Structure 1
Amino acid sequence: MENNHLDNGTSIDENRRHFIGGSVGASLLGAGVAAGLLSSSVTASTLVSHGPSKAHRMAHYKAEQLERVTQDLVPPPAVPKHELVATGKPKVVEVRMTVEEKQIELENGTKAWVCAFNGSVPGPMIICHQYDYVELTLVNPKTNMLAHNIDLHAATGALGGGELTLVAPGEEVVFRFKASKAGTFIYHCAPGGVMIPWHVAMGMHGAIMVLPREGLRDSDNNMISYDKAYYIGEADFYVPKDPKGKYKAYDTVMGSMNEVLEVMKSLTPSHIVFNGAVGALTGRGSMTAKVGESVLFVHSQANRDTRPHIIGGHGDYVWAAGNFADSPQRDLETWMLAGGSACAAVYTFRQPGLYAYVNHNLIESFLKGAAGHIKVDGEWDDDLMVQVKKPTAIV
């Protein structure tokens, strides 16, 4: 049954008018999906610098002057195919997202209702270059019960697009913005009032990466390239328990709302996971790399502060605040990510083996679920690490 009311009984149309009033306190190379099961390929065929002056000239194009391309969004941790360095004029990058209201399994039969952009938690990553336009079609199927919208932290004005994209079940909307700032940013649903934290806590968030037109650079303006990229979306869930301490399940999304909100008020998540479930990035879902490959990791958290860390590796280059206009920090062991943002880090793997990618609050990673794996193939280098003497009995 369709529900055209929010929690306070306001109709969708009334809420839309209230929201718009401001009272609520390509694929860049064409269509293409990731190469392989998880990671997407990136194209570095044009690793040349346009230079700052040319890049800034690109800011003056208008959408109607530009080529339009369609970006096929892919489920995380994969990312769409893209150029490291932009070629030609900016583009209008068309993307399409459909909201799915559904139950997912967090672990061992524990279920939670989610509102998922394109069916995944987190939603898919969008990738463009600075001064491109992103034209997004947001679809809210008539089978859904709730109103939805999208607030993109990469967008300027109008609550990040939130007041221009509010759609009731059975509606779709088309929205366009210019990507004027380079960096990594989150997006999330923000339909107003208590619905904002509830929708976010139901996994309704994702990330957009706006690359500098001249590509990523270090403090000496040297090109920073990468061979593959992964998107890790960290999410906190608040599943209620019954009097016997067993996690509860609900037949409908609205049926879960009141009790989930009560758990949320405690600020104590029942689960903190990467990509929608405990163990989603382990086993068959593990990320992969080879010795000598440089990997870009984009990490987002819409609600809580977190501490990305590669056990056995480092952040060779890290944009902890997600701002590509800043020079990256170098050789970090752990970096701090503020809630409501996304960061980026590049690491070149030097040894084979199984690496753990974790939130380095180890309670949250090992007891709550915020951990994944990276399987790295290649030849072992004894100069970097070696067992000098095997364990022997102490005499």
Structure 2
Amino acid sequence: MNKQFDPGLTQTSRRNVLRGTVLAGAAAMTGAAAMAMPRRAAVPNAQPPVARFLQAEVQAQVEAAPVDLSGYTRVKQDLVAPPFAPVHEQVATGGPKLIEINLETTERLMVVDEDTGASIWALTYNGSVPGPLIICHEGDMIELTLRNPVGSMMEHNIDFHASTGALGGGGLTHVFPGEETVLRWKATKPGCFTYHCAPGGAMIAYHVCHGMNGAVMVLPRDGLKDVDGNPLPYDSIAYIGEQDYYLPMDEFGDYKTYEAAGEDYADSLDAMRRLTPTHSVFNGAVGALTGENALTATVGDTVLMIHNQSNRDSRPHLIGGHGDYVWETSFSTPPLTGVETWFVRGGTAMASMYTFKQPGVYAYVNHNLIEAVLLGATAHFVVEGEWDNALMEQVVAPHSFEA
């Protein structure tokens, strides 16, 4: 019997099997053909390999033994907009948690650069670029409700790099406008991880480069530690999402505008193929973390900086400070120490920690300075406190001299 219509499957499972067939077919296509594919048109014969795998995963879930959640405490995490972090424990108390979170796939027109009038129909989780930071501990469960509003123009899903199986959950979370789904996954690896939308084919790059990405931090249950096992607590988190945009231009070099999400699809693919971003910004827009929006701290504060880049490599540097401790890949390995510029691999999130020692303005930049200065990849920390001449002192003020 065709498993798509196996009476042993629930209605939801049958629907997901059918959806997997459709989406896998779309994943092999690019351009307007993928966008124009009928939403629920089945592909009854010659299913692509990806579709067969998705079918097998859904069927395996139906047949698998139910998960025993009796040892988990169910809690709700209220996600907040970047650059802030949700309320959380640095050291886990009690047993593992089942953490409920909600994400809504919001499509919104967003200004990228007020000076040039550049804008984009951003594809977002909960309305922000990047999507909200999610925090848990190793061994916890994340239970996500993903909702795509009725008024959306596009299909969305989510791939968690921190999770295991089904394309990071991407194969089980495709939601069309007006639909929602619930996905539960276990955090088995400590570290910082990217999540992003991955509908299939060219749409993966299109959605990621339109802002649909974010980060998960999976803390060790006993918190962060140095190489000798000493605790490394922090006073606050600064969550920075670096976003590369590829905005189409007209023949006069002006940025194009569009009436609705998805209307720029063909133009955007042409721009993206050049592999040269028009903007590389922190938290969605030029100046999103400078001026009145600058991050703040006080001398003596220890800040954990979480940096996500879902598409390209980056080289963050804190001008006037350092990475006291840097975890480029995992919390399972001892942190690097005393780092001047650290590395973010494309498609990853990572963490660095610094205790501020002097007041003033610190620029946090992508140290590809072309991107920092010309494309927008700059944030500022404004730090208050007492100056320490033992660390730095202007011995003689600038003055003219005789040749």
Deviation for aligned residue 1:391:
1.1
Structure 2 equivalent of residue 121 of structure 1: 129
Q: Deviations over 1:126-182 (max 9, x none)?
A: 000000000000000110011100000000111000011001111000000000000
Name structure 2 gaps, 5 residues minimum.
Answer: 1-22, 27-31, 56-66
Instruction: Provide closer, same or farther for how the CA distance between residues 219 and 21 of structure 1 changes in structure 2, counting only shifts above 3 A.
Output: same
The counterpart of 2:366, out of the listed 359, 368, 380, is: 359
Q: What SS does structure 1 have at the residue aligned with 2:380? A: strand
The counterpart of 1:10, out of the listed 32, 37, 56, is: 37
Q: What SS does structure 2 have at the residue aligned with 1:65? A: coil
Q: Which has the larger radius of gyration?
A: 2
The alignment-based identity, stated in percent, is 52
Structure 2: how far apart are the matches of 1:64 and 1:189?
31
Q: Deviations over 1:110-137 (max 9, x none)?
A: 1111111000000000000000000000
Structure 1 equivalent of residue 327 of structure 2: 319
Structure 1 equivalent of residue 13 of structure 2: none
Q: Report the AA paired with residue 275 of structure 1.
A: N
Matched, 1:332 2:332: no
Structure 1 equivalent of residue 220 of structure 2: 212
Deviation for aligned residue 1:254:
2.2
Q: Deviations over 1:236-269 (max 9, x none)?
A: 0011111111111111222111001100000000
Q: What SS does structure 2 have at the residue aligned with 1:100? A: strand
Structure 2 equivalent of residue 77 of structure 1: 83
Structure 2: how far apart are the matches of 1:248 and 1:15?
36
Structure 2 equivalent of residue 90 of structure 1: 96
Deviation for aligned residue 1:11:
2.8
Pairing 1:1-395 to 2, within 5 Å after superposition: 7-8=33-34, 9-14=36-41, 21-22=52-53, 62-108=68-114, 109-321=117-329, 323-395=330-402
Q: Report the AA paired with residue 235 of structure 1.
A: Q
Structure 2: how far apart are the matches of 1:199 and 1:159?
16
Q: TM-score, normalised by structure 2?
A: 0.85
Deviation for aligned residue 1:10:
2.5
Instruction: Provide closer, same or farther for how the CA distance between residues 264 and 356 of structure 1 changes in structure 2, counting only shifts above 3 A.
Output: same
Number of matched pairs: 355
Structure 1 equivalent of residue 59 of structure 2: none
Structure 2: how far apart are the matches of 1:11 and 1:86?
47
Quote the RMSD (CA, aligned, Å). 1.8
Deviation for aligned residue 1:299:
0.1
Deviation for aligned residue 1:62:
4.1
Structure 2: how far apart are the matches of 1:276 and 1:7?
29
Structure 1 equivalent of residue 19 of structure 2: none
Q: What SS does structure 1 have at the residue aligned with 2:194? A: strand
Structure 1: how far apart are the matches of 2:156 and 2:127?
14
Name structure 1 gaps, 5 residues minimum.
Answer: 25-60
Structure 2: how far apart are the matches of 1:243 and 1:141?
35
Structure 1: how far apart are the matches of 2:304 and 2:229?
18
CA contact (8 A) 1:216 1:224 kept: yes
Q: What SS does structure 1 have at the residue aligned with 2:244? A: strand
